[in-house]
Amino acid sequence: MDFFDLFLSLTSVVLVAILGDFNSTLAAAGATAPITSSIAIVLFDRQHQRKVDTRTVIGQQHLVDISTKVIKGVFASLIFAVCFNLLARKGFSLTPCMLYSYCAWTTTWIMLQVI
């Protein structure tokens, strides 16, 4: 990871934190924006390009692979959010909501890796 990669990652996190101070809608938008996904894809591509000199159709398979894994991760995150929302509606406090939602996320993530 070089300076640009680190700068991009940190800047994105700081921007989301600053926007979240304004209101809950901006905080939710920042939480659901594909910031980490896009950063991960860019960093993964940059690392791949350091190893491979040519950009061919076959050379783009790494982008297909990482984006497919991102789709699986987004689905697992959706399960996390739905589980958290349902538990909060039932009156659970923050800690049980987080614990059970992460269990749901982990289970979903593991199941999707088999597919």
Please write the tens of the pLDDT for every residue from 49-74.
Answer: 777 665 555 568 888 888 898 899 89
Q: What is the pTM of this model?
A: 0.70
Q: Which of 12, 20, 59, 19 is nearest to 40 (CA)?
A: 12
CB 37 within 8 A of CB 74: yes
User: Residues 6 or more apart from 67 whose CB is under 8 A from it?
Assistant: 41
Q: What is the pLDDT of residue 76?
A: 93
Alpha-carbon distance of 74 to 80, in angstroms, equals: 10
Q: What is the pLDDT of residue 108?
A: 96
Query: pLDDT under 50 in the chain at which residues?
Result: none
Average of per-residue pLDDT values in the chain: 83
Q: What is the pLDDT of residue 60?
A: 81
Q: What is the pLDDT of residue 53?
A: 61
Q: What is the pLDDT of residue 90?
A: 98
Q: What is the pLDDT of residue 104?
A: 97
Q: What is the pLDDT of residue 93?
A: 97
